[in-house]
A and B are shown apart, each in its own frame.
Chain A
């Protein structure tokens, strides 16, 4: 396999972007990544998007976006793995290059979620759970994660307050990210007294509905060195990907995320790194409880201790392992298909030293963890700056 580097990143402001269409958001973002890489032509493109069909009634966006990006005729397609679609696009791009099939590939993600009502968005998102045996009975995504949270509290004594610490920390980080959808700070009491969505999760435990896109350009190392301008090269050194039962009730344990543990093990093995080597990480905090469980499954703290570990400020910037310096899904926003790509962008910028107020000093190795549904898909990337 050939070595693969990230040579360009592009991301525009996330939020309720009513004035821009899916294609416009994507093309602006993708063009920014192409400009950042200093290239003109792509060999191909993978776009992660969970459900453009349900959100804007448009499928077949691979060809559509390739055309509007002025790259007609290149191989282009959409990949889907629910909220892990973006991570999957990066993995596909990596494999395309590592195999020798292509030299320069764009991995992008996009979701346009506010062209439908809240009900429409809830329906589209719920398609990532088991329609016939979970959603049929009235389960929602916050509800499914709430049932995981209650189990984690029951088995390990995780507290309501510890969940709040995740939201407070991620909003604190997000307040330093000008591209974040909700760049404001929240308080512990504010999280706990906000509107209840699915007990014990309040609205400030949940990631929002967001319009947004993100894009990275990957290239083989030889090409990367040739075209690289002043950007330090960031190499993808590990990829892990795993799946699990889509229905929560089919899993022996609800207080863990097996696919995330397996994806982590596979990425650590491929990269030769351990949790101690990671300087900065982006986790899939679709709900506060998710960040706590992912900390445990990726080996940053013992099983059951994610709440305590968070409360002790270990995941703050300046802590043992800064998590979600971008603000995470919580504050930065969660346009589902774009999230996995945006995580890779944040880590690339951290490793390049471009994060300003939220920079983790001296970060050399970073990790992203992106997951779909209630964790039935999980993709971990490990990156190192050269």
Chain B
């Protein structure tokens, strides 16, 4: 993977940087340049809360090649405390614990590596918070 492609996503993947539409209060993650209803808006940098609940999840048994060594792993959609939803993996969990509605926290983790000599990509993963 070309390094610039990973590098340009650092603000979102490392620091959960979003944009808040000051006109409507809506949060856009990743940032948008036009509002969801097609208007120019006054935006400000906004950091997503790192706590939320599992909105839905699945256990991936058949993974893409870059996640071969990790399957089975859990991918979920987390609904954060401000209502924003993000897709990520859940890690450090017990199988019996896993359920819709469980509290999680987003942590900075290694997400994937690009073959043996490629770039290592970091980002957020969810861990149990209850």
As a 0/1 sequence over residues 113 to 131 of chain A, the CB contacts with chain B under 8 angstroms (1 = contact) are: 0000001001100100010
Q: How far is the CA of A285 from the CA of B117 in the complex (A)?
A: 40
Interface pair B56/A147, CB less than 8 Å apart: yes
Contacts of B77 in A (CB 8 A): 147, 248-249, 254
**Interface positions of B from 58 to 81, Cβ below 8 Å from A:** 58-65, 67, 70, 73, 75-77
Is B103 positioned at the interface, with any CB of A under 8 Å from its CB? no
The dominant DSSP class at the B interface is strand
| Interface bits A3-44 vs B (CB < 8 Å: 1, else 0) | 000000000000000000000000000000000000000000
The tally of CB-CB contacts under 8 A between chains A and B is: 92
Q: Which residues of B contact A (CB under 8 A)?
A: 9, 30, 55-65, 67, 70, 73, 75-77, 85-89, 100, 111-112, 121, 123
In the complex the two chains form, is B62's CB within 8 Å of A140's CB?
A: yes
CB distance from B57 to the nearest CB of A (A): 7
CA distance A250 to B77 in the complex (A): 10
Shortest beta-carbon distance from A248 to chain B in Å:
7
A139, A142, A196 pick with most chain B CB within 10 angstroms: A139
Closest residue on chain B to residue A129 by CB atoms = B87
Chain B residues near A132 (CB-CB < 8 A): 9, 30
Given the known interface contacts A136-B121, A137-B75, the answer about A199 and B58 at a Cβ–Cβ threshold of 8 Å is: yes
Q: Which of B56, B64, B65, B70 counts the most A-chain CB atoms under 10 A from its CB?
A: B56
Chain A residues with Cβ below 8 Å from B73 are 138
Size of the A side of the interface (Cβ < 8 Å), in residues, is 34
User: What 7 additional pairs, Cβ within 8 angstroms, besides A119-B65, A138-B111, A200-B58?
Assistant: A122-B64, A122-B65, A132-B30, A139-B75, A147-B75, A147-B77, A151-B56
> Nearest-CB distance from B14 to chain A (Å)?
13
In the assembled complex, the CB of A24 is this many whole angstroms from the nearest CB of chain B, namely: 29
Cβ B112 vs Cβ A133 within 8 A: no
Residue of A nearest to B13 (CB): A136
For A123, give its contact among B9, B30, B65, B75 (CB under 8 Å): B65
Answer whether residue A91 sits at the interface, using C-beta atoms and an 8 A cutoff. Answer: no
B113 to chain A, nearest CB (A): 12
- From the candidates B58, B67, B87, name the one contacting A150 in the complex (CB within 8 A): B58
Which of B30, B55, B61, B64 is in CB contact (< 8 Å) with A199? B61
Partner of A198, one of B60, B87, B89, B100: B60
Given A132-B9, A138-B70, A197-B61, A143 and B111 touching (CB < 8 A)? no
